[in-house]
């Protein structure tokens, strides 16, 4: 029969039920992001292994020693020593967060003539709060050495203003809160999908509603499809609520209104895929309590390794390899880039959205199969 | 037009090695109220689920209004309504929304027709004044009424009622019986499963008793009662249940009867013509043995006796204890009219 018509009828049913419990649904959905953003967003947090690129124009013993110092630091990871255009390109594509350019003037002791220039993209909150001060203090040591060799030196400042000049190329304010709010959105979408989609399906089976649908002359896929669509609608609503909480608490979106467009696109694809997963789990697990535990077990690790609360670079290497198969990683990449960097290269965008779309389509197809096979004898 | 609403021919359903429905054949005439009785696990629900197209038969044929269920599944779904023992109205939706969703799922169109049917349904169920209230706030009886009109929204010619009165108080049950009769009087064929045997006795034109996936007997109520025999049922209830065995021995020893014992109650079938003599002698014997009884009675076989005879508790006790104890509960329900 008509799949779209039946889907619409059941979609209407789901949304009417949702509206009927609107207050409970909204409160339930904002509790988690509220706690996470307000609490974790407002405590300090540090990150290891910010990837940087180095351009060495000075090429003298002092500059090589500076590179050695930066290398030995746990907070920074030099991923490339290269020329300036390549380094800036790496920065643009998000391969590194920061480019350190050691100018020919290094080590400079003159006021107003910097020895080191830093370009950074603040996609990781830790750049401004950790990386910049680290580079500053490392570089200033050489200045002090120079100063020591010059009796009656001009500068007595501990941290000479002229040593490091930094330029934010792509950046929001770069606080952990900005970082966290971007990561909250996919989490809210995934959890609302896993909880809402699956539990309503199980309770519909227990109440006999599914049986009542099956004896009507509808297309069975409409039952799954309507649930996926209504879940996606609710997921986006919840994502916006979480985002609003973050913005009210002072987080900034570097991409402005464009951020919202990208967030909606990513949220829609992500929730389609995850409700499909919820439908599959709920087709196999017949009890609400068992389902609740199972969905937590699936959802929480995915969120954790996706870079939702900590950058993937800070994960142990084996775990960051696992994050490659986590669809949330791709969602986070897009959302992070647009909310923190305010910019995302088109090939990066297409690749990530492509991976997410394939994931969603495969999951939806499988959910039809699993749901239908679990209701046949 | 086909003469029969439902024709079931050599129907078999196996779940793995377990045969739930074992080669059953019966026909339900148009306009009948047909009762399907049997202990839990007998195969009633499996049979009904196959008629509804929820599960596929292993072999055999189901024909509904002359249409084969395997070929015309979609058409057949429009012909059958179902009301189950669980109330499946959606509590978060209003009465009107509940009806609207199902009218649309049954593709009732155009919208004017849909709205007309909803208005009728609300009127029939006396819920017009509560149309826009959430069904979750309704009383049990109101929910059942809504459920019934919801099952009828597509105007089916066959209505399957799976324990429609379970958990209803006596007023609501009488009310439900009235509705069932009304529906039947406008030509709807009704299939009823129930655990209240007196309900089947009052409502059904014909009854099939099903056990272990087989039809044990089928016919009108009076035809079925003949299965038990032409005799009368003698029933002795001991005042102290420890005396029940003594009563049973008495009936076995002196009167050469085949008594069946249930805690404090002993029943036995007595030949017609003999009953008065046995009664007098039994009272004398009881007196002599100083066995105190709270009642001794003699009655025509009821549907309970038919059920008991056909589904047999003695064989069941040894093999399927769980099923038989559930059946006991069912029997008590049948006799007392409540669980």
Q: Which domains does chain A have, with CATH numbers?
A: 3-40+176-374 (no CATH), 50-170 (3.40.1710.10)
Q: Which residues contact B307 (CB under 8 A, 6 or more apart)?
A: B37, B197, B209, B331, B334
Which option is the CATH number for B4-223: 3.40.50.280, 3.90.25.10, 3.40.50.720, 3.40.50.300?
Answer: 3.40.50.300
Instruction: Report the residue of chain A nearest B104, measured CA to CA.
Output: A9
Instruction: Report the residue of chain B nearest A12, measured CA to CA.
Output: B101
Say if the ipTM goes beyond 0.85. Answer: no
- Which residues 1-60 of A have a C-beta within 8 angstroms of B? 1-2, 5-6, 9-10, 12-13, 16-17, 20-21
Q: Which residues of A touch B53 (CB under 8 A)?
A: 214-215
**Cis peptide leading into residue B110 (ω within 30°):** yes
Q: What is d(CA A264, CA A318) in angstroms, rounded to the nearest whole number?
A: 31
pTM metric for this prediction: 0.72
Given a cut of 70, whether residue A162 has pLDDT beyond it is: no
Res A345: pLDDT = 82
Q: What is d(CA A143, CA A66) in angstroms, rounded to the nearest whole number?
A: 11
Q: Where in chain B is the domain with CATH 3.30.70.920?
A: 226-336
Contact A134, A73 (CB under 8 A): yes
Side-chain half-sphere exposure of A98, counting CA atoms within 13 A = 31
Q: Which tokens hold the place of B119?
A: 């208005």
First to last CA, chain B: 42
The number of beta carbons lying within 10 Å of the beta carbon of residue A322 is 16
Residue pLDDT tens, chain B, 339 long: 578 899 999 999 988 888 889 889 999 999 999 999 888 778 888 899 899 888 888 999 999 998 888 888 888 999 999 988 777 888 899 999 999 999 999 999 888 999 999 999 999 888 999 999 999 999 888 888 899 899 999 999 999 998 888 777 888 888 888 888 999 999 999 999 887 788 888 889 999 988 888 888 888 888 887 776 677 888 888 888 888 888 888 888 887 788 888 778 888 878 777 777 888 888 888 888 888 888 888 887 777 777 777 776 533 433 343 444 444 444 443 333 333
CB of A372 within 8 Å of a chain B CB? The answer is no
| Assigned CATH for B226-336 | 3.30.70.920
CB-closest option in A1, A215, A376 to B52: A215
Among A20, A21, A216, A225, most B C-beta atoms within 10 A, so best to mutate, is A216
CB-closest option in B54, B93, B105 to A17: B93
CB of B27 within 8 Å of a chain A CB? The answer is no
CB of B14 within 8 Å of a chain A CB? The answer is no
Q: Tell me if B77 and A215 make a contact (CB, 8 A cut-off).
A: yes
Residue A185 main-chain phi, psi, to 5 deg: -60, -55
Q: Where in chain B is the domain with CATH 3.40.50.300?
A: 4-223
Given a cut of 80, whether residue A145 has pLDDT beyond it is: no
User: Among A96-110, A258-272, A305-319, which is the least confidently predicted range?
Assistant: A305-319
CB of B4 within 8 Å of a chain A CB? The answer is no
Q: What is d(CA A224, CA A202) in angstroms, rounded to the nearest whole number?
A: 12
Q: Which residues of A touch B64 (CB under 8 A)?
A: none
């Amino acid at each position: 029969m008509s799949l779209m018509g039946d889907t619409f009828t059941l979609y209407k049913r789901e949304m009417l039920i949702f509206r009927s419990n609107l207050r409970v649904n909204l409160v339930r959905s904002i509790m988690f992001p509220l706690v996470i953003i307000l609490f974790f967003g407002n405590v300090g947090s540090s990150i290891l292994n910010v990837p940087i690129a180095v351009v060495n124009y000075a090429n003298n013993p002092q500059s090589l020693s500076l590179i050695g110092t930066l290398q030995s630091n746990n907070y920074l990871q030099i991923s490339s020593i290269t020329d300036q255009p390549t380094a800036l390109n790496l920065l643009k594509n998000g391969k590194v967060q920061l480019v350190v350019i050691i100018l020919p003037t290094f080590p400079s002791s003159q006021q107003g003539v910097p020895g080191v220039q830093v370009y950074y993209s603040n996609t990781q909150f830790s750049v401004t709060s950790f990386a910049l001060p680290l580079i500053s203090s490392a570089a200033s040591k050489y200045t002090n050495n120079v100063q020591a060799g010059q009796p009656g030196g001009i500068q007595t400042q501990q941290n000479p203003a002229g040593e490091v000049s930094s330029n934010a190329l792509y950046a929001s304010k770069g606080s952990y809160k900005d970082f966290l709010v971007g990561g909250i959105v996919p989490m809210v979408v995934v959890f609302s999908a896993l909880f809402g989609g699956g539990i309503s399906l199980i309770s519909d089976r227990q109440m006999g509603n599914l049986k009542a649908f099956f004896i009507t002359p509808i297309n069975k896929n409409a039952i799954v499809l309507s649930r996926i669509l209504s879940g996606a609608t609710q997921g986006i609503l919840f994502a916006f609520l979480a985002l609003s909480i973050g913005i009210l608490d002072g987080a900034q979106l570097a991409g402005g209104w464009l951020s919202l467009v990208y967030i909606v696109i990513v949220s829609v694809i992500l929730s389609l895929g995850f409700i499909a997963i919820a439908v599959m789990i709920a087709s196999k697990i017949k009890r609400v309590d068992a389902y609740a535990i199972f969905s937590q077990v699936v959802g929480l690790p995915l969120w954790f390794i996706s870079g939702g609360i900590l950058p993937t670079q800070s994960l142990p290497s084996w775990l960051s390899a696992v994050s490659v198969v986590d669809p949330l990683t791709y969602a986070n990449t897009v959302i992070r880039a647009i909310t923190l960097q305010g910019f995302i290269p088109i090939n990066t965008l297409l690749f990530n959205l492509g991976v997410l779309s394939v994931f969603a389509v495969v999951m939806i197809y499988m959910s039809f199969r699993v749901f239908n096979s679990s209701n046949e004898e | 037009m086909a003469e029969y609403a439902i024709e079931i021919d050599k129907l078999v359903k196996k779940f793995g090695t377990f045969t739930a429905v074992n080669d059953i054949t019966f026909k339900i005439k148009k306009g009948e109220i047909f009762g399907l009785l049997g202990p839990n696990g007998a195969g009633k629900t499996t049979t009904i689920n196959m008629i509804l197209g929820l599960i596929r038969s292993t072999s055999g044929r189901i024909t509904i209004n002359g249409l084969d269920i395997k070929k015309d599944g979609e058409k057949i779904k429009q012909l059958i309504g179902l009301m189950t023992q669980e109330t499946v109205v959606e509590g978060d939706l209003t009465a009107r929304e509940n009806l609207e969703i199902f009218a649309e799922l049954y593709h009732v169109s155009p919208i004017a027709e849909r709205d007309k049917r909803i208005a009728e349904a609300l009127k029939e169920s006396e819920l017009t004044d509560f149309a826009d209230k959430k069904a979750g706030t309704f009383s049990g009886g109101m929910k059942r009424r809504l459920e019934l009109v919801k099952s009828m929204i597509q105007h089916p010619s066959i209505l399957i009622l799976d324990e429609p009165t379970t958990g209803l108080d006596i007023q609501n049950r009488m009310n439900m019986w009235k509705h069932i009769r009304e529906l039947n009087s406008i030509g709807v064929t009704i299939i009823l499963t129930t655990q209240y045997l007196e309900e089947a006795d009052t409502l059904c034109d014909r009854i099939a008793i099903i056990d272990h996936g087989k039809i044990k007997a089928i016919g009108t109520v009076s035809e079925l009662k003949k299965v038990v025999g032409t005799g009368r049922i003698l029933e002795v209830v001991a005042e102290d249940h420890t005396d029940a065995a003594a009563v049973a021995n008495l009936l076995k020893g002196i009167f050469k009867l085949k008594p069946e014992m249930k805690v404090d109650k002993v029943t036995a079938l007595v030949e017609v013509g003999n009953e008065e003599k046995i009664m007098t002698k039994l009272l004398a014997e009881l007196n002599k043995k100083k066995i105190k009884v709270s009642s001794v009675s003699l009655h025509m076989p009821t549907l309970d006796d038919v059920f008991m005879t056909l589904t047999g508790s003695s064989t069941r006790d040894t093999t399927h204890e769980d099923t038989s104890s559930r059946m006991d509960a069912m029997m008590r329900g049948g006799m007392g009219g409540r669980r």
